[in-house]
Structure 1
Amino acid sequence: MQEDFLHYIWKHKKFQINHLKSITEEIVIINTVGQHNLNAGPDFFNAQVTINEQLWAGNVEIHVKSSDWFLHNHEQDKAYDNVILHVVWEHDTDIFRKDNTVIPTLELKKFVKKDVLNNYKKLFTKQSKWINCEHSFTGIDDFVLNNWLERLYLERLVRKTKTIQRLLKESKNDWEAVLFKMLAKNFGLKVNGDSFFSMAQSINFSIIRKSQSNQQTLEALLFGQSGLLEQDIENAYYLSMIKEYQFLKQKFKLENNQTLPCHFFRLRPSNFPTIRLSQLASLYHLHQNLFSKIIETNRLDDFYKLFKISTSTFWETYYTFQKESKSSKKTLTKSFIDLLLINTILPLKFCYAKQKGEACEVDIIKIATSITSEKNSIIDAFNNLKKVSKSALDSQALIQLKTEYCDKNKCLQCAVGNTLITK
């Protein structure tokens, strides 16, 4: 038995609330369970309980055993002086106030229905399971699951806004600068995400603004700050990049000694850092006020048009500076743009609207449900239990579910766990 389960039972009144009696046979009526306290102090604040027709207002403390009161040293803490009811699973000792009167105790195990307890035990039985509810997940009603996934998706957006808010503070509320840093990280994907982000962090965005009218200048800036212009290569384009970068480095007093190295190993050529950086440079060369355009865009097709960009001409016949390849137009694919939307654009639009006090959930959800579901091990595992991920909203929500609820055993705070326990 865990205290979290007792908190859940009390908070949601998952027990027989009629004909309650304390361990001393006093009639107990719960008027309000109080406000759940997740910090230090009593478990529930401002509860109202009638005991033998006397209304009490104060705090409620919950333990597995009554003696846990002393185990946690509550008798020495003034924060517990206003406890009006001690709720326990098993009563094993009386608890006294400072005036030596006994604090009324309610022993819950007498009033919890057996099916609720059995469902709880079944859910938390330690077995070799991917998630606690994997044997029951398929039976969850679609209405319950879809509503929960939508809430989880918004939770995940809120979580991502914390990074955005930190970057805003660092850039003195420059949304264009934050967008550039986040896009850079996402252009690098998993392998080079941190490298590209460190590159973006090393450049004041005012320099990007001053350089973006010339694509070659912008490319030289990104390549140079990423440490990709430090080899001995005899190539006209490469040598022109070095010359341009050296000028920029001196002009803007640039340093790149803190930039993380880029990697080519085990990457498909289309994801080589050279290709992705050229595409990023093309994007900022084509769109002088990219952030404003993103905020004004609310249709998926319009986003695909906005991000329909490719590399500069040189990279149409190269993947690296040294080896020429078959000519091909290296444009951003829809699947890559989807990743930019999921990880950068939608969180940024959400954060911007919230900062302005505007409602944006409907528009964000509409776009997210129009994007194809991501594919990864978490999504595949959920889909093997029940075909549930049909869009990016679903896949992002399922990642949130797995990492923030399933992995942390927060089944009592999950709509799926709640449904199974009260089934």
Structure 2
Amino acid sequence: MLFTEDFLHYIWKFRLFERENLQTVDGEELEIFSAGLHNSDSGPDFHNARIRIGETIWAGNVEVHLSASDWQKHGHTHDGAFDNVILHVVYRNDVPLFLPNGRKVPTLELQSRISEELYNKYHKLVFGNQTFIPCEAGIATVDGLTMQNWLTRVLVERMEKRSANVAAALALNKGDWEETFYQFLAANFGFKVNALPFELMAKSLPQLILAKNKNNAMQIEALIFGQAGFLEGEFKDEYPLKLQKEYGYLSKKYNLKPIENHLWKFMRLRPQNFPTIRLAQFAALIVQSNHLLSKILEIKEVKALRGLFTEIKVNDYWEDHYRFDLQSKPSSKSMGDGSVDILLLNTVALFLFSYGKQHQQQYYISRSLKLLENLPAEKNNIIADFVNLGVKIDTAFESQALLELKNSYCNYKKCLQCGVGNKILKLA
């Protein structure tokens, strides 16, 4: 048989071995009351197990190995953390095991107690020739409740990982939630292609400076386009000339230096997604909503949250322009539903979760997950492949969870740590 030690952990944890006439290798009668708690840190593999050997009931730790001799190979012999092991569970008992004090550790050998059917299912999952995920042949057979429970857990894992980035940025911003939100929101306005220059622009232009000029839309626009490096050179149109003049004054007043304009990318972007249009929308949002995070924390309805972004109105100049001095056919430059969904998913939902986690308020965490339930699923190759396997995906809650499942479990074939993989192994 070909398998990893994790497979034995799985078998012991769920007691998926033949337990009739269970005995240690020395012939003592063995009964398992509790397999213990699986330990993913250093030390014995399972804590607080309860078993009976002969007439004696033991409580303590259990260590699991492929071969009994692995105990010495893994350096447990002189490690005090293993002195209270009450049972050594192995696939093959190749050597007797004694502790430094001379005590012989009771050993359970599983070599003849693992069903061939279970092994074959495991081997097919972990060592098969699947092209997308290990369980691609069986994931559609998993019941809805199991899938929903596991996706909820995986989604929370994803949000907690992403919240760590928020916490790191919050520390750099000395605990300023509004400034941190402003920087993340700006980066997400770049929609991957221009995320970096948007983030650099926001970091070069603290929200405090924008707040001092919040009642003057022209100054807000001048600060944002100026710091983005779009107000250098000569212009013909009145609007960019006014912005340039305003920025000349404000940049000296606040000692500002723009980021390098060459960082912005236009190629292979639809005009509606040009960075100039995104900057105009971002400026309009800043003009309309001061202390945006505070408003978001207060708003309960998804429709109202969406309205914060859909109801912004950019400067009239952009109705027939995509770039300065280049006139185009008139068209609306309001944010589309797809763009708003991305901002709600990557910024608003993330900060609701992070704020709730940081302040230990489940209310905001629940609102974050509820928001994801009310957003449509993302469209990308990974989600499309899951759909092709028969997985039902309607909301961002599900698509975000499946992205985490693919990237953190499926790609590393962690089927034994996955609720979906566990269910498939247990299915008859």
Smaller-chain TM-score bracket: over 0.9
TM-score (norm 2): 0.93
Residue by residue, what CA displacement relative to the aligned partner does 1:347-366 show, whole Å, maximum 9, x if unpaired? Answer: 11122233333323544333
Would you say 1:406 and 2:394 are equivalent positions?
A: no
Q: Distance in 1 between matches of 2:41 and 2:200?
A: 36
Paired residue for 1:382, among 379, 386, 392?
A: 386
Task: Look up the match of 1:335.
Answer: 338
Q: One-letter code of the match for 1:243? A: K
Q: Distance in 2 between matches of 1:134 and 1:92?
A: 37
Q: One-letter code of the match for 2:415? A: C
Would you say 1:312 and 2:315 are equivalent positions?
A: yes
Task: Look up the match of 2:372.
Answer: 368
Measured at CA, do residues 257 and 326 of structure 1 come closer, stay the same or move farther in structure 2, by a change above 3 Å?
Answer: closer
Task: Look up the match of 1:107.
Answer: 109
Paired residue for 2:207, among 205, 208, 213?
A: 205
Q: One-letter code of the match for 2:326? A: K
Which consecutive residues of structure 2, in runs of 5 or more, have no partner in the other structure? none
Give 1:251 deviation, angstroms.
Answer: 1.5
SS at match of 1:389: coil
Q: One-letter code of the match for 2:344? A: L
Spell out the pairing of 1:158-173 with structure 2 (5 A cutoff): 158-173=160-175
After the TM superposition, which of the residue ranges 356-365 and 39-48 deviates more from structure 2? 356-365
Q: Distance in 1 between matches of 2:282 and 2:350?
A: 19
SS at match of 1:345: helix
Measured at CA, do residues 17 and 200 of structure 1 come closer, stay the same or move farther in structure 2, by a change above 3 Å?
Answer: farther
- The question of whether the paired residues in 1 share the 8 Å contact of 2:151 and 2:401 is answered with yes
SS at match of 2:192: helix
Task: Look up the match of 1:178.
Answer: 180
Give 1:258 deviation, angstroms.
Answer: 7.9
Residue by residue, what CA displacement relative to the aligned partner does 1:85-136 show, whole Å, maximum 9, x if unpaired? Answer: 1111111111211123321111123323332222111211231421001111
Task: Look up the match of 2:426.
Answer: 422
Q: One-letter code of the match for 2:160? A: V
- The question of whether the paired residues in 1 share the 8 Å contact of 2:98 and 2:104 is answered with yes
Spell out the pairing of 1:202-241 with structure 2 (5 A cutoff): 202-241=204-243
Measured at CA, do residues 257 and 270 of structure 1 come closer, stay the same or move farther in structure 2, by a change above 3 Å?
Answer: closer
- The question of whether the paired residues in 2 share the 8 Å contact of 1:338 and 1:371 is answered with yes
Give 1:275 deviation, angstroms.
Answer: 0.5
Residue by residue, what CA displacement relative to the aligned partner does 1:26-53 show, whole Å, maximum 9, x if unpaired? Answer: 1122233223221222212232332112
Give 1:162 deviation, angstroms.
Answer: 1.2
Q: Distance in 2 between matches of 1:13 and 1:198?
A: 54
Q: One-letter code of the match for 1:375? A: K
Residue by residue, what CA displacement relative to the aligned partner does 1:367-397 show, whole Å, maximum 9, x if unpaired? Answer: 3222211100111000000141111111111
SS at match of 1:247: helix
Give 1:296 deviation, angstroms.
Answer: 1.6
Give 1:257 deviation, angstroms.
Answer: 5.1
Give 1:214 deviation, angstroms.
Answer: 1.6
Task: Look up the match of 2:350.
Answer: 347
SS at match of 1:281: helix
Q: One-letter code of the match for 1:320? A: R
Measured at CA, do residues 288 and 101 of structure 1 come closer, stay the same or move farther in structure 2, by a change above 3 Å?
Answer: closer
SS at match of 1:20: coil
Would you say 1:96 and 2:86 are equivalent positions?
A: no
* Percent identical: 40
Pairs aligned (count): 423
Give 1:191 deviation, angstroms.
Answer: 0.2
Which consecutive residues of structure 1, in runs of 5 or more, have no partner in the other structure? none
SS at match of 2:375: coil
Give 1:310 deviation, angstroms.
Answer: 3.0
SS at match of 1:189: coil
Give 1:332 deviation, angstroms.
Answer: 0.9
- The question of whether the paired residues in 2 share the 8 Å contact of 1:198 and 1:260 is answered with no
Give 1:202 deviation, angstroms.
Answer: 2.0
